[in-house]
Structure 1
């Protein structure tokens, strides 16, 4: 399938800002259609003749269908989040079907078996976070919806970047998230973007109907994570305990960061990760390496690089103070 016009949702997000340059270089004749609620977020792309920035809301199915037909979109990267995620995702799938132009879809979900009876039962027994549960509904709709387009699901684990959502880590040497002792796999947004490009290039030929788990084979515990940051920053990084007091204080911190609805959601999600862990099998890891064409980026390397930049920034600030 010739990649002619690619619609990319969440283009200004952590994955999107890594994905757009890869798409431009990987598909030199393709047009990129970037729907956004705020065109100013994508201002750096306005001078590129191959990019069409469309301001509107992807929660509007009629508008989304119009974008697909007017730009002859044949490939879609769908990354959806928010309190209206279920409505948005389902309406989007219907819009792609109605357009008649879309031939392949790449959808961002989460790592794990979220479609088999046993997998669904395990997920619903343990998870209450709606933004986790909605993705199994979307995956099942892809499986059983009878769409005329092919699809590939990306299943990332916990993003490296999530460490930076709370300001205490670099500012006060305190790791806010109570990861617990079960351990979680970690993934870079760059590798998610690379996997998306590989799936788009494949066009459903070999990866159609498949899910690609993305992340590390190692599952990092709270102690291991704090140890990596302590070593990299050159100072002690303390952890929030995964106990009753820790979960209560974490929810307070999450609410302060993201509001009551998302604050509870975040706490619910991380509590299951802390108790059950989150990772992938050796077979899933090997498949990931095959798709990416390389080993995934290492969490340790990302921590070291980020910490170096933080320390360099602090040294620069001290130098300015001294010279002032």
Structure 2
């Protein structure tokens, strides 16, 4: 069995690669020219935005795990991948979507995935969509600010069912390798609904020092990240955070049951994620980074 991973160096993709490696399955990893090879993988040089390069990457591939890039042209990248996989006879595609994506279709990086979902459905039954909530691992880029006493992600008061990327990857690996997941959208959610203040409180308890929630002011957030993010991405994320503040992104009982079923266990919680970051030393190391380098 040959598995191609597109997006294998990101937060979820690298966990999928690790999960496949743990099973003795070294995947083929799509890498742009010039990117260094990743141990435990076969390298396929190509780019989702360069459709001709994907033919060779997909040659001889049975299954594809697809993560599309956060980019204004994300739709084109996804459609290129689906078309190349179909032309190469790839029998199973597992795509990384978003939890409750239809409700957030006004958000650009939600909307850009919808045509890819439609193309997958048109391609036949051999597709699965993993639909994760907001990642715990997004906080890693914020550890400097957290260490300075502020949790800056403007999640709002209603709360999200945030999830660990390791659980997302575990579900993706099952969908790639096992039968019974074709033609399904699988929600991947965490076990608790967490608002911005609750996340700050979890970090405060773990660190033993004050951590305050920065609040919901999106104008202030935009100004803080202006040196770090391009305008199109600030606009996109502002709409996303506005959606979180107005509606939340809480899982239903059915979503949580589906997550437990695909994992075969309860999903990881935020306290466990923070404890793992402390145990590995990653949290202590990240807390030393300059706050100005945090998004």
2:4 is the alignment partner of 1:10: no
Residue pairs, 1:48-63, within 5 angstroms: 48=40, 51-63=41-53
Secondary structure of the 1:187 match is: coil
Q: How many matched pairs? A: 286
Rounded to whole Å, the distance in 2 between the matches of 1:55 and 1:253 is: 37
**TM-score, normalised by the number of residues in structure 2:** 0.89
* Alpha-carbon offset, residue 153 of structure 1: 0.4
- Tell me the residue number matched to 1:277: 248
1:98 is the counterpart of 2:74: no
Q: Secondary structure at the match of 2:197?
A: helix
Question: Which among 163, 177, 195 is matched to residue 221 of structure 1?
Answer: 195
Matched, 1:25 2:22: yes
Q: Which residue of 1 aligns with 2:291?
A: none
4+ runs deviating over 6 angstroms: none
- How far has the Cα of 1:256 moved from its partner? 2.1
Q: Compare CA radii of gyration and give the structure with the larger one.
A: 1
Ranges in structure 1 where 5+ consecutive residues have no aligned partner: 115-119, 317-324
1:1-324 equivalences in 2 (<5 Å): 4-26=1-23, 28=24, 30=25, 32-37=27-32, 40-43=35-38, 45=39, 48=40, 51-69=41-59, 72-81=60-69, 82-100=71-89, 102-112=90-100, 114=101, 120=102, 122-124=103-105, 127=106, 129-143=107-121, 145=122, 147-148=123-124, 150-166=126-142, 168-202=144-178, 205-242=179-216, 246-307=217-278, 309=281
More helix by share: 1
Seen in structure 2, the aligned counterparts of structure 1 residues 38 and 188 have a Cα distance that, compared at 3 Å, is farther
Distance change >3 Å, CA 39–CA 95, structure 1 → 2: same
Q: Using the alignment, how far apart are the partners of 1:159 and 1:63 within structure 2? A: 31
Check whether the contact 1:105–1:150 (CA below 8 A) recurs between aligned residues.
yes
Gaps of 5+ in 2: 289-295
3-state SS in 2 of match to 1:278: coil
After superposition, the Cα gap between the structure-2 partners of 1:130 and 1:171, relative to the gap in structure 1 and judged at 3 Å, is same
CA distance 1:315–1:219, shift in 2 (3 Å): closer
The alignment's TM-score, normalised by the length of structure 1, stands at 0.81
